[in-house]
Chain A
Amino acid sequence: MADKEVDELRARLEAYVGKPMGPPAVAPDAVNLPMIRHWVDALDDRNPVYLDAEFAATTRFGGIVAPPAMLQTWTMPRPRIEGIAGRGGAPDKMISDNPIPLLDQAGYVGTLATNSELEFVRYLRPGDQLHLTTEVESISNRKTTALGQGYFVTWVTTYMDGEDEVVGRQLFRILKFDPSTIGAAA
């Protein structure tokens, strides 16, 4: 790709910084015991504050709390299973005005998750109804990596409860790379 095209792409990417990565989303269900139980069994996490109400009442939590790492689970979009592989795994037909399609069109079709940073402002309790907003935090200059040339895209998801109080955040960074440029000089 010529330098001029690289610069043009960089300028178009920069326009997304500070903008939403996707539309605001609302959790389909409130924080609830059946989904906590499902998680506890799947990961064999026997911390009694997640399911044992009597015990949890004696701890500083004062009652049952959800496993903190479930934060993102509550707001995962409801999937349409039919055709999900054809959509590359996207839960449903999603038209998002974000940097990813732009990078895909420019040949940076590879995706590798590189960083996840979860922060918990408070533990969630059954009944908490979450919603979220997202924001593109930064997009790197083009880098030469072991997978080829690409851009690091970082966004932050902010999770809020029914009173709009922030309960947690997640920073997520992916590398969008062009697999045909493996071994290319910087």
Chain B
Amino acid sequence: MTSGRTDSLRSTEIAVGDELPPFDLPVTSTVIVAGAIASRDFMPAHHDREFAMAQGAPNMFMNILTTNGYVSRFVTDWAGPEAMIRSIKIRLGAPAVPGQPLRFSGQVAQTSHEGDECVIEVAVRAANELGDHATGTVVVTLPLG
């Protein structure tokens, strides 16, 4: 088990165009089932390959709560523990299935000041060989300074 970072980015270090460090998630059946059950989503499509395939999917696939969880983690792994996420808005595309790693990438699209907070808009994308799994925007804040 790794321990998380305890330092956070300083808002003055963040500029429009900054790339977030890419993150590759090796998607396995275990990753999918662990996320589904931790989010209390018992839909068979997220743990039962035969059920998912009978519904026309290529395999069991990741549930949306888990996708949102990884998007959140991707952004706070970059910004640090002082980061507060305001919104995660994603368009859903290709399914995340076992054997197809997901690559998370992101870029700072906009920054502004609001009271004692820096508001950062990050354009995010999680993609695999099938195409874009999720694309959208995460708004996150950091204390000014």
**Chain A interface (Cβ < 8 Å from any Cβ of B):** 35, 38-39, 41-49, 55-56, 59-61, 67-70, 72-73, 76, 79, 81, 84-85, 89, 91, 113-120, 123, 179
Residue from A43, A59, A76, A119 in contact with B73 in the complex, judged by beta carbons closer than 8 Å: A43
Q: Are B92 and A67 in contact (CB under 8 A)?
A: no
Q: Are B87 and A81 in contact (CB under 8 A)?
A: no
B65 partner residues in chain A, CB cutoff 8 A: 69-70, 72-73
Q: Are A89 and B43 in contact (CB under 8 A)?
A: yes
Which label, helix, strand, loop or mixed, suits the secondary structure of the A interface? Answer: mixed
User: B110 on the interface (CB 8 Å rule)?
Assistant: no
Closest 4 pairs (CB-CB, A-B): A46-B4, A42-B38, A42-B34, A89-B43
B89 partner residues in chain A, CB cutoff 8 A: 115-118
B70 partner residues in chain A, CB cutoff 8 A: 43
For this complex, 15 residue pairs linking A to B, each with C-beta atoms less than 8 Å apart, are: A39-B38, A39-B69, A42-B38, A45-B73, A45-B76, A46-B2, A47-B73, A60-B143, A61-B84, A79-B40, A115-B90, A116-B88, A116-B90, A116-B92, A119-B87
**Chain B interface (Cβ < 8 Å from any Cβ of A):** 1-6, 34-35, 37-45, 48, 51, 56, 64-66, 68-73, 76-77, 81-82, 84-92, 143
Give the shortest distance, in Å, between B21 (CB) and chain A (any CB): 15
Residue from A49, A67, A84 in contact with B42 in the complex, judged by beta carbons closer than 8 Å: A84
A41 partner residues in chain B, CB cutoff 8 A: 34, 38
A123 partner residues in chain B, CB cutoff 8 A: 84
Q: Complex: how many Å from CA A69 to CA B87?
A: 9
Give the shortest distance, in Å, between B26 (CB) and chain A (any CB): 11
Q: Are B6 and A55 in contact (CB under 8 A)?
A: yes
Q: Are B39 and A79 in contact (CB under 8 A)?
A: no
Residue from A49, A76, A84 in contact with B39 in the complex, judged by beta carbons closer than 8 Å: A76
Q: Are B43 and A70 in contact (CB under 8 A)?
A: no
Q: Are A45 and B42 in contact (CB under 8 A)?
A: no
B40 closest partner in A (C-beta): A76
Give the shortest distance, in Å, between A100 (CB) and chain B (any CB): 15
Q: Which of A35, A43, A56, A61 has the most CB of B within 10 A?
A: A43
